[in-house]
Amino acid sequence: MPARDEIKNRIHVLRTRWESYVADGTFDQFIEFTVAINSLAEHFNRMRLPGLVRICEGLEKAALTYLGTPASHPLGQQVIAALQRQVDTLAGAIANSQPKLQKRRADDAPRETPDAEWVKPRSVWLIVAPEMQSMADALTRQMGFFGFKTLALPWGGAKPDDDMPLAVIFIPAPDTTSAAEHAYIAKVRTRCAASQLIYLGAPSDIEAIVELMRAGLDVTLPQEEGASTVLSCVLDLVQNHEPDKYRVLVVEDSRVAATLIQRTLAEHNLDSQVVLDPRKLLEEVESYRPDLILMDMHMPRFNGVEATRVLRQMAAYKSLPIVYLSGEADIGMQVEALRLGGDQFLSKPFNPVLLTAVVKTKIERFREMQRSTRVDGLTGLMNHTAAKSLLKSMMERCEPTDSLTVAMIDIDHFKSINDTYGHPVGDQVIRSLAWLLKGRLRSTDLIGRYGGEEFLIALPGIAPQQALQVIDRIRNDFSILPHAHPSGTLFASFSAGVAAWPNFDTAASLTEAADHALLQAKRYGRNRVESSENLFTMYREKEPEVQQHH
C-alpha cells in the first residue's frame, strides 16, 4: 500500500476507534484507541517525521494517563473533550504536512517506492542571521553537491507555503537566544510538523538548550561543528533506518490465542509467524530468523521452558529474546522459567499495550546489539561482513530475468592523500564518499565499506547500463567535490569496476569480476568506471580526464 494511503488509513482507524469509544465508553475500546495512536507514532517514526511523532506521542501520553482500569471508564466529559482536541490537532498537522510529490531528477535511477517520495523531499530551508551569511553560503554549496536544494530565508521572515522541507536549519548570530527567537522557532515547528529542525549554534548551557528544544527543535549543534555535521544529519534523514520489519515467532498451540496475538502484533506493524506444532520449532526459527520468540508455557509433549533450554544451548540462539506468555500465576514457577533462559514473563490474557511495549523494546535492544557488529564506525555504512552477507541474500532472491549490478569502488592514490595531508583528512575524504553514495543511491541499494578506502555497492532492479550511468555520474561528481584540509581544499577521485547478474551468478564470482574490472580501471588511468564484460559498450561517456588530487 502506498505510504500516503497507509497514513490515511491509520488516521482513519484512529478516528473510528476514538468515535466508538466516545459512543460506548468501554475500557477495551480505549485500549484499541491507544494501540492505534501508538501504531501511527511508530509509522511516522519509521518515516522519520519527528514533528508528527511528537504530536502522536503527546496524545499517547495523555491516553495512557487516563487508561486506568475497566472501572475508570467511561471517562468524564471534560477529559473526552480534551482528548478530542488532541485528536483534531493531530489530524490537522498530518493534513498540513503532506508534501507535494517531488519531481525527481529525470536521469535518476527510478525510485519504486512511493514511501520514499513521501519522506524524501530534498529541499532544505536555511534560516540565517545576516552575520552568518558566509556559513550559509558554504553549506548551500555543499548541500548542492549531495543533491539537496536549499532555500535561504531571513531570520524571522515569512515562509513559502508551497514547500515542505526535509529539514530546516537555523543559523543564529552568536549568543542571541531570546524569547522572540523561541517564538519564531515554535512558529516554524507548527508550519513544518514533518520536518527535522536543526539549530546550528547550540549554547553550552543546558537550560538554554532545553528551552530551544521546548520551542520545537529536534537537534542542536554547536556552531563550531559546522557544515559537515549538519550534512551528516540531513543525509541520515534520507536513509531508511530499519527497512526490515521486526519479526516475532509465536509458539502457541492454541489457534485462537495465536490469532489474537498476531492481530495485536500486526496493528503495531510487527511481522509474525505462528508455530502451532512445537516439534517444528527448530526449522521455523532457522527459516524465519525471528528477532524475538513469544513462547507459550504449556504445550503438548514438552513445555516452553524445555524448548527454551534447547534453543539456549545452541550458539546461534544464545541471545535471541524469548518472552513467555502463560496463564500461570505461580510466582515460583515464573522465577524458575526465567532462570532457565527466558527474558520476561507475561501473563495471559495479555494486555496488548504491555505486550507490544515489551516486544518492541526487547527487539530494539537486540537489533542495536546486532547492529554494532554490522556497522562501520567511521562511515555508518555496513561493514565488510554485513555487506557480503546482504549481497548473498540479494542474489538468492534474484530471478533469471531480474537485474542486479555490483560495483567495487576504490579511491585513487589514497595513500598519497594520507601522506600529504594526514590521516584525519584521509578519513574525511572516505566519509564524504560514503555520504555521497548514501545521498545518491536508493534505500534499497546496498552500500558497504568493504575495506579501508574500498566500497561495495549493489543496485537491484535497474538495467546494468543505467546502473553504470548512475555510478559514472557519482564518479564525476566526486572528482569535483572539494575536501577541506587545514590550508585549503583538495580533490580526490575514485575508480570503479562493475559486473552484473546473470552473467555472474554467485556473490563471490560477481565481486571477483567487479574487482577485476576495477583493476582494469586503475590500469587505464584511474577516475573511471570499467565493466567486466562488453555489456556496457552501449554506454560510453567521453574519455574521462585523469585528475590528480593536488
Binding segment (CB under 5 A) for Mg ion, from list 25-33, 377-385, 386-394, 408-416? 408-416
- Binding test (CB under 5 A) with Mg ion, winner from 218, 291, 296, 410: 410
- Shortest Å distance, C-beta 411 to Mg ion: 5
Q: What are 142's three cell numbers?
A: 555543499
Residue 314 contact among Mg ion, ligand GH3, none, beta carbon within 5 to 8 Å by kind:
none
CA distance 532 to 471: 14
The strand order across the sheet containing 271-275 reads 271-275, 247-251, 292-296, 322-326, 344-347
d(CA 398, CA 501): 8
User: Should residue 413 be labelled a site residue for ligand GH3 when binding is judged by CB under 6 A?
Assistant: yes
Interacting residue with ligand GH3 among 143, 411, 437, 492 (CB under 6 A): 411
Q: Which residue in the shown chain puts its C-beta closest to ligand GH3?
A: 452
Tally the C-alpha atoms within 13 A of residue 534's C-alpha that lie toward its C-beta: 0
323 vs 492, which CB is nearer to ligand GH3? 492
The residue with cell 519527528 is 50
Is 412 an interacting residue with respect to ligand GH3 (CB under 6 A)?
A: yes
**Counting contacts by CB under 6 A, is residue 414 touching ligand GH3?**
yes
Q: In the window 442-461, what residues touch ligand GH3 (CB under 6 A)?
A: 452-453
Within 421-440, the residues that bind ligand GH3 by CB under 6 A are: 423, 426-427, 430
Among 170, 414, 421, 478, binds Mg ion (CB under 5 A): 414
Q: Dihedral angle at the C-alpha atoms of 326, 328, 332, 333, nearest 10 degrees? A: -60
In the complex with ligand GH3, the residue whose CB is nearer, 251 or 433, is 433
Tell me the CA distances in angstroms from 77 to 61, 80, 158, 255, one per residue in order: 19, 5, 39, 40
Distance CA 371, CA 167 (A): 26
* CA distances from residue 314 to 306, 311, 319, 320 in whole angstroms, order as listed: 13, 5, 10, 11
Provide the β-strand partners of residue 273.
249
Report if residue 2 touches ligand GH3, rule: CB under 6 A: no
Q: Which stretch binds Mg ion (CB under 5 A): 232-240, 293-301, 414-422, 433-441?
A: 414-422
9: left (phi over 0), alpha (psi -120 to 50) or beta: alpha
For 498, other C-beta atoms within 10 Å of its C-beta total 29
Whole-number Å distance between alpha carbons of 307 and 285: 12
Alpha-carbon span 513 to 406, nearest angstrom:
9
Query: 479 to 538, contacts with ligand GH3 by CB under 6 A?
Result: 522, 526
Q: Which is nearer to ligand GH3, 35 or 433 (CB)?
A: 433
Give the CA angle between residues 218, 153, 124 to the nearest 5°: 50
Minimum distance of ligand GH3 from residue 344's CB (angstroms): 40
Taking alpha carbons only, the member of 167, 169, 122, 125 closest to residue 148 is 122
Which of the residues 32, 284, 453, 530 is marked catalytic?
Answer: 453
DSSP sequence for 35-102: HHHHHHHHHHHHTT-HHHHHHHHHHHHHHHHHH--GGG-SPPHHHHHHHHHHHHHHHHHHHHH-PPPP
Report in angstroms how near the CB of residue 430 gets to ligand GH3 at its nearest.
6
Cell 516439534 belongs to 279
Q: Which of 214, 415, 523, 540 binds ligand GH3 (CB under 6 A)?
A: 415
- 298 versus 423: smaller Cβ distance to ligand GH3: 423
Q: How far is the CB of 455 from Mg ion (least distance, A)?
A: 11
Question: Does 418 contact ligand GH3 by CB under 6 A?
Answer: yes
Output the smallest distance, CB 368 to ligand GH3, in A.
24
Report the C-alpha gap between 181 and 155 in whole angstroms: 9
Question: Cell for 216?
Answer: 520545537
Q: Checking DSSP bridges between strand 454-460 and strand 404-411, what pairing results, if any?
A: antiparallel
Least distance in angstroms from the C-beta of 518 to ligand GH3: 9
418 binds, among Mg ion, ligand GH3, none (CB under 5 to 8 A by kind): ligand GH3
* C-alpha 60 chain-centroid distance: 22
Stretch of 95-103, 146-154, 407-415, 438-446 lying at the interface with Mg ion (CB under 5 A):
407-415
Q: Report the nearest approach of ligand GH3 to the CB of residue 495 (Å).
A: 7
| Residue 426 binding result from ligand GH3, Mg ion, none, given CB thresholds of 5 to 8 Å by partner type | ligand GH3
How many positions of this chain bind ligand GH3 (CB under 6 A)? Answer: 16
**What does the chain come to in residues?**
550
Contacts with ligand GH3, 347-386, as mask; x by CB under 6 A: -------------------------------x--------
Please identify, using beta-carbon distances, which residue of 163 and 427 lies nearer to ligand GH3: 427
Contact window for ligand GH3 (CB under 6 A) among 328-336, 409-417, 468-476, 536-544: 409-417
Q: Is 453 tagged catalytic?
A: yes
Decide the pairing of beta strands 196-200 and 247-251: unpaired
How many residues lie near Mg ion (CB under 5 A)?
3
Q: Is residue 410 a contact point for ligand GH3 (CB under 6 A)?
A: yes
Grid cell, residue 76, equals 468524564
What is the smallest separation between the CB atom of 489 and ligand GH3, expressed in angstroms? 17
Residues marked active site are found at 453
Residues lying near ligand GH3 in the complex (CB under 6 A) are found at 378, 410-415, 418, 423, 426-427, 430, 452-453, 522, 526
Interface ranges with Mg ion (CB under 5 A) = 410-411, 414
